[in-house]
Homo-oligomer: A and B are copies of this chain.
Amino acid sequence: MKTHLECIPCFIKQSLEAARMATNDEGIHERVIKEVMEHLQNISFKDSPPELSKDVHSIIRSITNSNDPYKKVKEESNENAKKLYPTLKELVNTADDPLLAAIQLSIVGNVIDFGTFKRFDINDSINTNMREKFVDNGYSRFKEVLNNSRSVLYLGDNTGETFFDRLLLEEISKKVKQITYVVKANPVINDALFEDAVFAGIDKIARVIEGDAGQDRSTPGILLKFASEEFLENFNSADMVISKGQGNYESLNLSDREIFFLLMVKCPLVGADIGINEGSFVLKVK
């Protein structure tokens, strides 16, 4: 997906939020915003938002002298999701269609996000929104492909959301043994890292790999041009690819291969691209 002019104020708003997470020094907040604005004057709008976001967050980390401004909120997300997990698991186990319930809950987990500016209540999402706002653009195809797959590549998104992914990975593992779960090599926004996947117990169900090649190539949404060898190998050879979140949608929606995108739409431009309303929980196949 290309970047729109509307993304600019959103990048700046996010920069301020990240700077405030990293330090209380208002002089540094101002410097971050001003340097981000300087940087954004020379971007190309042909690049996708995750690519531009990479550089914006690199500026933030450099000026705030913080390798991971979102560390604290990620820890909180991990703890909160861990507490929720048994309830979620029970919801899946008692559902008429456990696979569908696990898909829906994994999308609900995508509510946990510090990269966009709609904040949603996770309990509300579980209780009231899950069915109402679920847009099914591919569940029958999802089942069909899953039943015929021997390998699944699953791209994770945010920290804490990992526990919601685990629910779906557990359902998938009833049918497929070779599962690979993708995290980021380095901190970017609140995206899950290797340690977060391990914290959620995903390493017991799937092989966990870093999707990007590291060295400041971590983008909120895996870009093929920055991807690790291991990722590319899996991406090209896996029978089924499942992608979580807006970032991965923005970076991979133009790819040629079939991908099942599971995401909550948190931005009107992504909604317009998919053709559905902001706030929807979507399973989309392409």
A binding-site residues for B, Cβ under 8 Å:
5-6, 8-10, 12-13, 16, 26, 29-30, 33-34, 37-38, 40-41, 45
Contact = CB atoms under 8 A, between A and B. Distances in A.
Contacts of A26: 5
Contact of A8 (B6, B12, B38, B45): B12
The A contact surface, by secondary structure, is helix
Contacts of A12: 8-9, 12
A29 B4 CA distance: 11
A33 B9 CA distance: 9
Nearest to A32: B5
Contacts of A38: 37-38, 41
Contact of A13 (B9, B29, B41): B9
Closest 9 CB pairs of A and B: A9-B9, A37-B37, A9-B13, A9-B12, A34-B41, A5-B16, A37-B41, A8-B33, A5-B29
Contacts of A30: 5, 45
A34 B245 CA distance: 29
Contacts of A41: 34, 37-38
A45 B37 CA distance: 16
